[in-house]
Structure 1
């Protein structure tokens, strides 16, 4: 039977809580230790004050188990109270540790929990326990896009100062080893998609099952194709509204001894690749090149095309002139980069310049 002293302790503990705190409704403190609360539903004793009891009621915390037979309204009521309390403390911003219940074991926000002193008194405040940051916590962010944006702005080190350099070195070595094993060019690390992939893996945390060969070559590839087609629809809207340019990028494959042209469409929304064509058999045929350009204009839509840009080789010059004559609503424009290349080649043929270049090459080879 509870004596009067223990009853007074229990009553004073409940009175110290916020009147709206659901902990006082769904749990009761132990008479001899007001840090321990007993759940009214399952009888479990939680050690850590009213906050730990609320974690027990909500569930998803590593430092306490959840009883799964609570009425639905209880979990929602407790969760709502915790979020509102955190909002009040953070100036109206919900911190990740409040909304992400599945990764949070934060318990130093408990302010309504008291501990007994050595003489049995109950006036001492529970000292806040500093939380040890783990690797995932240091890199955790509400969204991958925010993390990438922060890194680009040079703020990636804001919360990473305490990160173990040895752990990062281990991760970087594993990534490098994969590059070496797969024979992937090191320049691939400059792709934005590489940084996005690393951020996604980090946010997922331990235990990620890697993509299988089947997933890469079938469902995931199809999803990527679907995404690109959706993006193309947005680009085509931009072409229709503000016009676009067709850019013909020619290149030679010295291994296969073949010539190709890549077709890109440029607008204010950006450049998109549309197709690549083998022109090895028609590279010197003006009429065939003209027909190829004309078909591309038809595919994009003549009313959308402002200009067609090609190299300044004689065959493309003639094909471009034919295109202008056939479609007077657009312009043929020689590629400025190719024109500059041709100018530099001509300059390099000047005797004095040619001799100077030879001497520079000799010095460079000697080194």
Structure 2
């Protein structure tokens, strides 16, 4: 893998100062020989040091012939290194339509595609002389096939998804070129795409979003914020605004090296609020973490017209976590006593899943009998336990077929004790009944998560949906236990208390106000 030092060796003869905000990657630098301050890209550094004219920069008069020869040697070695590491062009087999016209795509011994096409064209011309139809000539079928081959090679060599061919901008780009006969058109290179055109597209997007921003003062704005990590594991906090027209990304802040306490988060929130305009902001939405709650309280104290609202979906997910993964601590013994069997079922399901996924032969047996796949659900995903249980219920028949097959019993290369344990669980009807019961009474909670985890406005519905959800949970539990509504249930009592506690922590005046203003619940005269 080549680096900047390998391909641009003359950077070591200047001192970089700072990057200029010109959208072209230019920086300010100082020559180590003449001590003059210059600005520009590596092209100007090279011209200055190697005393090249015609690049819009003066040459260095302090460089000796010895220094010049040394730098020229480094530059030549870099060019050789770049050429050696450049991707090699591998030709695709040409189609039967390739004619001598394909020579226009490249000639010379250094161009494998061009030379291959040329030699093939010569042979084809000898074989098919006089056999080319008028239709092929009029529609340039040879060139069309060659273009198709180049496009296919681009997709394959770059690992691009074939769905890109459905992108309307991809289609429009080729349509514009062909319909306007842009002879000699050259596609934009890497530098132009990553600088000028990227900045131009950003400006275009900002122009298109002005129509959304113009509604902020009339419709009001909700700001949503959440933390996540990118592919490089950098901690980021993103901010989005939500209006009647839909969500719009505002910015993401890299929090590397920062302590994400309530004061730090509150300062980030204030910056975004001031950018949007505090008079336009109605609420700011975060998860229920202690630092986010503290930051929300700071915002409410400094901006009396803005309400901090905890995320409803995150609140419901925490309620499910309290039920499906109750903690065994002294202050939680009563809850753990009621829900410990749910944790055991969840652990058993994960044990079965991991045993199959971690043994290639067992996984091959599973894939032979089951069309659906075992999901790899991240722990950070909402209601991850319920998602896994729902998938197991769908593949119940297939799993049982796998463990009673001859292949399962005959294969003895892995842990046979665990294999027997998996078979015992999968064939246990009581175990499956418990999974059905968990899904039965948590379905309404899971459905509410899906209803609220959407871009559609639902603040005015949360109050009623939550109340209805609690009633449905009670009906499901009482039906399973065979009790009448006026009887007491210790299991439901704990579930009810968890849901009520979570609602009390999530409930804000906005929920009640939105519910009261909903025409569905207004009295008619």
- TM-score range, shorter-chain basis? 0.3 to 0.5
Larger helix share, 1 or 2: 2
TM-score by length of 1: 0.47
Larger strand share, 1 or 2: 1
TM-score by length of 2: 0.34
